[in-house]
Amino acid sequence: MSKTDAYEAVIGLEVHAQLSTATKIFCGCSTAFGAPPNTNVCPVCLGMPGSLPVLNRQVVEYAVRLGLAVGCRIAPRSVFARKNYFYPDLPKGYQISQYEEPICLAGHVDVAGADGSPRRIGITRIHMEEDAGKSIHDAGAGTLVDANRCGTPLLEIVSEPDLRTAQEAVQYLAFLRQTVRYLGICDGNMEEGSFRCDANVSVRRKGETRLGTKTEVKNMNSFSSVERAIEREIRRQIGILDEGGAVVQQTLLWDAERGEVHPMRSKEEAHDYRYFPDPDLAPVLVNDAWVDEVRRSLPELPAAKHARFAAEYGLPEYDAGVLTQDRSVAEYFERTVRALSAKGRDAAKTASNWVMTDVLRSLNERQCTAEEFPVTSERLAAMLDLLLDGTVSGTIAKELFADMLVSPDAPKVIVERKGMAQISDTGAIGREIDAVLARFPAETARFRAGETKLMGFFVGETMKVMKGKGNPKLINELLRTKLEGRS
């Protein structure tokens, strides 16, 4: 047994999701990204004495949406607290958060364990809080502060220490990100920091039930950083324990370039936050009727959509998973299937194949959403109908799709204009085949002598002279008849 096998890792994640509300959590300032520094501010988010916060109702609704989506209990009463610390980007000297009485409690998320069996990961709590501003370290001007982000609403989602590998942590994170996007409450952008995560990591000998000393790893801005940082930290801790040492509880920063973690300056983490209930904000009371109303307004969630796509359209699990990754892609697929004249499993599978490959690739290349895509679901359906009814061949359909990306014309119009229609006239195909066989007498003889794998060669040559427009099924049939001398 290698030394790594003697240990298991224990991981808990703290995820911050920046909410996509138009205004901040306790004032009417805009949350728009990219405004000139210190322009989206007011006395409330700057913490001027005498100003009073007023809670944004939408933040509470978003918290409840997420709580319900991950099976949390919604607290009828929750309380905002002040988390006191000093830092230049926090003008009030405290962050308004929730502490002892958060709004959502005891939820869960299922991930696939290493052996593929589902593993339930507990969510301890979800609470509402405000973001701090940004310090800008400008060599020429020292440290500058931009308070635009002060008061931007966040949800903090805290997991139980139930994760055991970096891969599980990434799955959990991906699931949460997919969920907040489906709910329309956060854009999930890790690079821009609107969806971020801190990883708490410890290791212990297998069989041990007590938790080991944890470290907290910060500063990961992609899934791959999260995975690499956790793996690296697990290895570091195992190395320490294996040499008889002890892990020191501390906060570490991930350095993606070097692939290492480094301790944060210890002064910055020596915190005593002196939490206490914020006297300026009344407890948040939510009643069952309103919670039910929010529950009814939830969209179909990824897992349910996945299951329904597999059942309703007879799609393979793999397809259902890819298509439901993103809500707008899933809806695009579904609109396409509904717009098709052709019905049934094969038509749905054809639509799935096209959305999973050509459409997703184009969306990616153009960095656009399914709503902005020039080939709308209706146009894709019109094109697929031409493919399904044999008007165009599969090869030509690819060409047609490329044309539709740059031309607003209906696919039918493009097919007519460019003479793309498939040739299914047996007389015309037969004449092309006769010409091909005449051009390749040696190959024809070899085929007739039993070398039947030459079939592909003849199909290819015939397709080539017909510029991809020959009906492949008819070409195959006619070739077989002619080569096997049954004509």
* Contacts to Zn ion by CB under 5 A: 27, 29, 42, 44-45
User: CB of residue 65 vs ligand ADP: minimum separation in angstroms?
Assistant: 21
The entry of ligand ADP, Zn ion, none near residue 111 (CB within 5 to 8 angstroms by kind) is: none
Residues 13-72 close enough to bind ligand ADP by CB under 6 A: 13-14
Q: In the set 114, 136, 211, 368, which binds ligand ADP (CB under 6 A)?
A: 211
The entry of Zn ion, ligand ADP, none near residue 60 (CB within 5 to 8 angstroms by kind) is: none
158: contact with ligand ADP by CB under 6 A: yes
Segment interacting with ligand ADP, rule: CB under 6 A, options 77-85, 138-146, 195-203, 332-340: 195-203
Number of residues counted as binding ligand ADP (CB under 6 A) = 15
Count of C-beta atoms within a 10 Å radius of residue 319: 22
Segment interacting with ligand ADP, rule: CB under 6 A, options 7-15, 180-188, 262-270, 473-481: 7-15
3-state secondary structure the chain: CCHHHHEEEEEEEEEEEECCCCECCCCCCECCCCCCCCCCCCCCCCCCCCCCCCCCHHHHHHHHHHHHHCCCEECCEECEEEEECCCCCCCCCEEEEECCCCCEEEEEEEEECCCCCEEEEEEEEEEEEECCCEEEEECCCEEEEEHHHCCCEEEEEEECCCECCHHHHHHHHHHHHHHHHHHCCCCCCCCCCCEEEEEEEEEEECCCCCCCCCEEEEEECCHHHHHHHHHHHHHHHHHHHHCCCCCCCCEEEEECCCCEEEECCHHHHCCCCCCEECCCCCCEECCHHHHHHHHHHCCCCHHHHHHHHHHHHCCCHHHHHHHCCCHHHHHHHHHHHHHCCCCCHHHHHHHHHHHHHHHHHHHHHHCCCCCCCCCCHHHHHHHHHHHHCCCCCHHHHHHHHHHHHHCCCCHHHHHHHCCCCCECCHHHHHHHHHHHHHHCHHHHHHHHCCCHHHHHHHHHHHHHHCCCCECHHHHHHHHHHHHCCCC
Q: Which is nearer to ligand ADP, 136 or 248 (CB)?
A: 248
User: CB of residue 29 vs Zn ion: minimum separation in angstroms?
Assistant: 3
User: CB of residue 369 vs ligand ADP: minimum separation in angstroms?
Assistant: 32
User: CB of residue 168 vs Zn ion: minimum separation in angstroms?
Assistant: 39
User: CB of residue 12 vs ligand ADP: minimum separation in angstroms?
Assistant: 2
200: contact with ligand ADP by CB under 6 A: yes
Q: Which is nearer to ligand ADP, 44 or 109 (CB)?
A: 109
152: contact with ligand ADP by CB under 6 A: no
Q: In the set 61, 156, 160, 231, which binds ligand ADP (CB under 6 A)?
A: 160
Q: Which is nearer to ligand ADP, 159 or 376 (CB)?
A: 159
What track of x and - describes contact with ligand ADP for positions 213 through 252 (by CB under 6 A)? Answer: -x--------------------------------------
Cα diameter, the chain: 98
The entry of Zn ion, ligand ADP, none near residue 45 (CB within 5 to 8 angstroms by kind) is: Zn ion
202: contact with ligand ADP by CB under 6 A: yes
User: CB of residue 61 vs Zn ion: minimum separation in angstroms?
Assistant: 20
User: CB of residue 80 vs Zn ion: minimum separation in angstroms?
Assistant: 16
User: CB of residue 210 vs ligand ADP: minimum separation in angstroms?
Assistant: 9
What tokens does 214 get?
A: 């944890």
Location of structure tokens 């988010």: 45
Q: Which is nearer to ligand ADP, 161 or 411 (CB)?
A: 161
125: contact with ligand ADP by CB under 6 A: no
Segment interacting with ligand ADP, rule: CB under 6 A, options 152-160, 288-296, 328-336, 337-345: 152-160
Q: Which amino acid is at 461?
A: E
C-alpha span between 244 and 256 (Å, rounded):
28
The entry of Zn ion, ligand ADP, none near residue 160 (CB within 5 to 8 angstroms by kind) is: ligand ADP
Judged by the rule CB under 6 A, the positions of this chain that interact with ligand ADP are 10-14, 158-161, 200-202, 211-212, 214
